[in-house]
Amino acid sequence: MPYLKTLNINTDRTHPFPYDIPAIKHAKHLDFSNIITFLVGENGSGKSTLLEAIACRLQLPHMDGVGYSKKSFDAAKTLLPYLELTWQIERSVGFFFRAEDFGDFLNSIHRADTSIASQLGDLGENVPKHIVDQMKDSANHQLHHVRKNFGQELDTFSHGEAYLQIMNQKINSRGIYLLDEPEAALSPARQLTLISFLNQHLKTHNSQFIIATHSPMLLAYPDATIYEITPNGMEKTALEDTEHYTVTKSFLNNPEAFLRHL
């Protein structure tokens, strides 16, 4: 049984940002009582802002581990006084995945590792590698965390493989998990891997997923709820009726019709 039952943004404000974006204007008495709910809409429709507001209210941990003080969460925090949530059962812990946090996390590890390596100078020529690694771990807690959980540095994986490795670590118990455009890091084949991972997790854990996506492949998850966000509303929509599905299908069926005028 899912934890979060309904969501409502209780305000009539329609400006300025973030009140003027569709996902915020039309987030009225939304039904989240499914184990997987998708948010789909055009760029700028507000999917990410809505997810960030939920994550901020629940204080879910996210990739960089610094809470919600970053400026990128200012819009979400503006919405908190108007965000109304109701629950079916007491909520559990969870995690908030943002594609931008994932990239920033990997880059921050690399920057810190480069800086520490520079500070250590030429030690590597005279000191065994495992000792140098231990010294790096002591100076770089992120790198230590990565080695502890994965046995190696994440840059030994492809971008998509590293993303799935982190998901395997973080989504390992019951909870509420918010995923913001996970397909950004994943090939079509890896998106199928993610679908399989979600399915296996839900067989053994009482969890709930709310996922913002542009991927028709992810939207095809069986029996999921799909909210399509448009300038005129935010409605439950069947997969085949979403614009993302119809445009993708039309293009793949006849790409020449779309490309002949280039």
Report the percent of the chain where pLDDT is more than 90: 61
pLDDT of 229 higher than 90: yes
Do residues 140 and 172 make contact, with C-beta atoms less than 8 angstroms apart?
A: no
Per residue in 97-119, pLDDT (tens digit) is: 987 776 656 655 555 556 655 65
E strand or H helix at 211, and its extent? strand 208-212
pLDDT for 41 equals 97
pLDDT for 152 equals 46
Winning range, highest mean pLDDT, from 12-21, 55-64, 67-76, 140-149: 12-21
Read off the pLDDT band of 153 (50, 70, 90).
Answer: low
Alpha helix (H) residue ranges in the chain: 22-25, 47-58, 74-79, 99-120, 129-139, 141-150, 159-170, 188-204, 216-219, 243-253, 255-259
pLDDT for 145 equals 55
Quickly count: other Cβ atoms within 10 Å of residue 137's Cβ.
Answer: 17
pLDDT for 163 equals 81
pLDDT for 151 equals 41
For strands 225-230 and 233-236, give the pairing: antiparallel
Do residues 97 and 181 make contact, with C-beta atoms less than 8 angstroms apart?
A: no
Segment 14-39 mean pLDDT: 96
Residue 200 identity (one-letter amino acid): Q
Residue 78 structure tokens: 């503006």
DSSP label at 184?
G
Question: Residue 71: left if φ>0, alpha if ψ -120 to 50, beta else—which one?
Answer: alpha
Ordered domains of the chain (ranges, CATH)? 4-100+174-259 (3.40.50.300)
Per residue in 85-101, pLDDT (tens digit) is: 999 887 778 999 987 77
pLDDT of 13 higher than 50: yes
pTM (predicted TM-score): 0.83
Per residue in 169-219, pLDDT (tens digit) is: 889 999 999 999 999 889 999 999 999 999 999 999 999 999 999 999 999
pLDDT of 166 higher than 70: yes
